[in-house]
């Protein structure tokens, strides 16, 4: 896989609850991470005293974060609504030349900042709230 533009890693949110996805406006930096808890089943019979893990068990999760410029766009209003209503709509993460991850996420934090001689900025964090799907590019 060749090098990719960071601007092509997109976070999209369902704007209406009907599968109408739009890119979250103003993002300059985005990140997604996947996690899986381990279940340790090591016992006195474990070969050589090495730790053993139970495959296919443990909780899986994903987290998304992004930061960017406040644009007072429809996606900004939707993000605020999602946070204050505590709902878990569908989001998509487009990973260039890899694929699309989709599923329910909860917005766990929104932070706004600004300086006297600069633009207003924001940071947003999301946590997976159910099973995710992946479609290869």
Alpha carbon separation from 43 to 46, 55, 122 (Å, rounded): 5, 15, 48
Specify if 75 maps to a domain: yes
CATH of the domain at 116: 2.30.110
- pLDDT confidence of residue 73: 84
Greater model confidence, 105 or 57: 105
Q: Which two tokens stand for residue 29?
A: 């930096």
> Phi-psi bin for 97: left (phi > 0), alpha (psi -120 to 50), beta?
left
- pLDDT confidence of residue 6: 78
Specify if 104 maps to a domain: yes
Specify if 10 maps to a domain: yes
Q: Does the model's pTM come out above 0.75? A: yes
Q: Which two tokens stand for residue 124?
A: 């947003």
Specify if 1 maps to a domain: no
* Number of folded domains that form the chain: 1
Specify if 72 maps to a domain: yes
Specify if 94 maps to a domain: yes
pLDDT tens sequence across 72-125: 788 889 999 999 999 999 999 999 989 999 999 999 999 999 999 998 899 999
């Amino acid at each position: 896989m060749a090098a990719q533009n960071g601007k092509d890693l997109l976070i999209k949110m369902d704007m209406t609850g009907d599968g109408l996805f739009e890119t979250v406006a103003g993002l300059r930096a985005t990140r997604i991470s996947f996690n899986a808890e381990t279940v340790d089943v090591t016992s006195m019979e474990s070969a050589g005293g090495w730790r053993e893990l139970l495959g296919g068990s443990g909780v899986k999760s994903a987290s998304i974060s992004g930061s960017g410029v406040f644009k007072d766009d429809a996606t900004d209003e939707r993000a605020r609504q999602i946070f204050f209503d505590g709902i878990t709509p569908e989001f998509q993460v487009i990973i260039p030349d890899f694929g699309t991850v989709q599923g329910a996420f909860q917005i766990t934090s929104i932070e706004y900042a600004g300086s006297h001689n600069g633009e207003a900025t924001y940071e947003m964090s999301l946590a997976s709230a159910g099973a995710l799907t992946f479609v290869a590019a």
